[in-house]
Amino acid sequence: MKLLTDFLPIILFFIAYKFGGGTYHWNGQEYEVAGIYAATAVMMVATLLQVAWGWLRHRKVERQHLLTLILVMVLGGATLWLQNPEFVMWKPTAVNWLFALAFIAARVFTDKTLLERLMASHLQLPTVVWSRLNTAWILFFIFSGLLNIYIAYNYSEEAWVNFKLFGSLAITVVFIAGQALYLSRHISDPSDSKDVS
C-alpha cells in the first residue's frame, strides 16, 4: 500500500500526460497546453497534497517525501516557467542520486548504515548484512538515476513518460523482491547472526 501511495504522483503524472494536453480557454484567451506541462502541474499539486496528507494524518512528513516535494517544486516550476521539459525529466535522477548520497554519507560519517538506523527496531541483522543491503540500495539508486537520463535523452518524450511509471515501478518492485529474498535467508534462522554467507 505504501508503495502505491509513494507512486501516486507519478501515476497522476502519467494520466495527466495522456489526457491533459489540448486547447484550453481562459479569460477570453485560447491556450494550447502540451501534455508534459499539464502532467508537471498535476504532479506538483499531487506531491504537495501527498506531503500535506502525511502531515495531517501522522503529524510528521517523511524525509523522502519532503525531498521529493522540494525537487518537484523547483524542477517542475522551472519546466513550466521556461517551457522546457528537461527540468522535470531530471527530477527522478536528482531524487535517486540524492538518496544514494544520503546512504553513502551515513555509512562514511556514522557507525551505522542508514538502513540500520531506519529498520533496526524491526530487524536484527549482522553488521555485514546491513552493509550489503546499504551497498545494494546505493547501487540501485545510482543505476535508476542513470537509466532515467538514458531513457530521457535517447527515446521519445512519451517513451520516457511510460518508463517513469511502468519501468521505474517494475525495477523498484523487482529490487525490493530481491532484497526480501536476501533478507529471508538471515531472518528465518536466528543462529545466522554470527555466520553470514
For the chain of 197 residues, list the mean pLDDT of each consecutive stretch of 10: 70 88 62 78 91 84 82 92 92 94 87 76 78 92 96 94 91 91 70 46
CB atoms within 10 A of CB 58: 9
Q: Please, are residues 61 and 51 in contact by the beta-carbon 8 Å criterion?
A: yes
Q: What phi and psi, each to the nearest 5 degrees, are found at residue 175? A: -65, -45
Instruction: Return the ∠ at Cα 36 (arms to 25 and 173), rounded to 5°.
Output: 140
DSSP 99-128: HHHHHHHHHHHSSS-HHHHHHTTT----HH
State the pLDDT at residue 135. 92
Instruction: Spell out the domain ranges in the chain.
Output: 2-189
User: What is each CA distance from 83 to 116, 135, 188, in whole angstroms?
Assistant: 42, 38, 53
- Could you give the CA distance from residue 21 to residue 133 in angstroms, rounded to a whole number? 42
Question: In the prediction, which pLDDT does 193 show?
Answer: 44
Is residue 110 left, alpha or beta, with left meaning phi > 0 and alpha meaning psi from -120 to 50? beta
Query: How much is the pLDDT for 65?
Result: 80
Q: Which amino acid is at 165?
A: L
Report the distance separating Cα 32 and Cα 52, nearest Å: 31
Place of cell 511509471: 165
pLDDT number for residue 3: 58
Task: Give the model's pLDDT for residue 120.
Answer: 67
- Residue 76 Cα distances to 80, 93, 141, 170, 193, angstroms: 6, 14, 21, 24, 46
| pLDDT value for 161 | 92
Residue 105 sits at φ, ψ, to 5 deg, of -60, -40
What is the predicted pLDDT for the residue at 190?
Answer: 47
